[in-house]
Amino acid sequence: MKENLIRFVICTSTLAQGVNLPIRYLIVTGVYQGADRIMVRDFHNLIGRAGRAGMHTEGSVIFAQTEVFDRRRDRFERWRWDAAKELLNPANSEPSASSLLLLFQPFAYGRPARYVFLDLAGAHRLVFDERAEIETLVAQALADHQAAGRRELERYFSARARIIQTVASFLLAHLDFSSETLSDDAALLCANTLAHHLADDDDRVALKLLFQNIATYVAAQAPTDELRLSIRRSALSPTAVRALSDWLAANLAGLNAAAAAGVLFEAIVDQVLAHASSDAILSLSDVQAAGDLALLWMQGQPFSALLVSLRLRDVRVGGRRITPRVENVIEICESGFGYDGAMLVGTMADLVEPLDNDLSAALAALHKRLKYGLPSEAAIAFYELGFADRVVSIALAEAFAGVGDRAMALFVLRRERARAAELLDTFPSYFEAVLAELLGP
């Protein structure tokens, strides 16, 4: 953009807010992020990209939904115009807030409204075994509030469980769990949070007690430094990390045998699916079909072949159980396997490292195959070198056999530059540019 080589950028509001993109014109196609309208402060962060000082003398913000203005006097539609004007007024910006304070917000239902509160005195138990704890909390709530919806209660308590687990990860990153002052240190950390600053006196006392309870509970439930480190480093819930740690320790011999036989993924797939949280995977009518789909993905099969596989098994997707389309397959592979599934396998590799280095290395290699959807070390090496396309990296791996890592891949490309350029000539010119950048003039 600095060299005026890019004339326009199409992106989500999240990217526009998080990346420095000084622009002349901003075209806003919508003001909703999912089901919720964008916050005023986020919107002003977004439009601040237009006319950035030092880059342009002025900038323009253009709303593409012209019907919002055209129907501003329609009594049924003018609320959209009013909502747009609210966004433009910086005085409507939301105050600073902390997600920790959501713990004090009750679940409301019915008319007149009735409320269900989370008991913070026992909320630390949501760090581990959150599924069982949530079921217990839902059952207790329904016993006193029969009219409350079970699913809504489950979502309410699940959201609070994620907050509690985030606090646990925060404490794991900042506390010495072998210290005799662990509880006091946790209270001190709490006192330095935004939530503590915004809370009233009673809520501050409750927050400090919660931090202390979480710290002592984690120390008891995750007694080793290795387990605590794995929980801190993983994006998985502490429950999932501990369960995977126990399962790996109990199945080392079988996993080594599976790795030697080349069927390591088949040996761990049930654990991957059991702990998967990706909606793309969980939305399948037959979740077990995801295992076979993942194998095809790691073999480098195209999305069209994966789609055929799902349809032959009559697997449906989504809440309405629709026939899968290619975009569903892409989401399952790139979001489900490439992120959620790969994160699980990566966590397994970290957990087993103190027990078995060879098995850890095998899981780490499998993690990359699942992340990228590639069949070999050579394809992964070319992919990570900059040829970040499954078809291109596989073609390079087939052309240059014997490549095992990025250094070897770069060596081969230098030695056989003409041959590599000839192969890449059949693909978009971007990849020829990648080759030129890697090898120089």
Q: Is the pLDDT of residue 1 over 70?
A: no
Q: What is the pLDDT of residues 275-306, one digit of tens each?
A: 988 888 988 999 889 999 999 999 999 999 99
Question: What mean pLDDT do residues 41-55 have?
Answer: 82
Question: What mean pLDDT do residues 32-56 have?
Answer: 80
Tell me the whole-structure pTM to 2 decimals: 0.71
Instruction: Kindly state the percentage of the chain with pLDDT values over 90.
Output: 67
Give CA separation, 154 vs 47, 136, 239, 400, in Å: 37, 10, 17, 53
**HSE toward the beta carbon, residue 293, CA cutoff 13 A:** 32
Q: Looking at residue 388, what is its pLDDT? A: 94
Cα–Cα dist 221/169, whole Å: 14
Q: Is the pLDDT of residue 135 over 90?
A: yes
Cα–Cα dist 293/313, whole Å: 11
Question: If pLDDT is split at 50, 70 and 90, which confidence band does 68 have?
Answer: confident
Question: If pLDDT is split at 50, 70 and 90, which confidence band does 352 have?
Answer: very high
Give Cα 38 to chain centroid, integer Å.
20
Q: Do 242 and 220 contact (CB within 8 A), yes or no? A: no
Q: Looking at residue 300, what is its pLDDT? A: 96
Q: What is the pLDDT of residues 382-412, one digit of tens each?
A: 999 999 999 999 999 999 988 999 999 999 9
Question: If pLDDT is split at 50, 70 and 90, which confidence band does 130 have?
Answer: confident
Question: What mean pLDDT do residues 406-435 have?
Answer: 95
Question: What mean pLDDT do residues 179-205 have?
Answer: 96
Cα–Cα dist 290/267, whole Å: 14
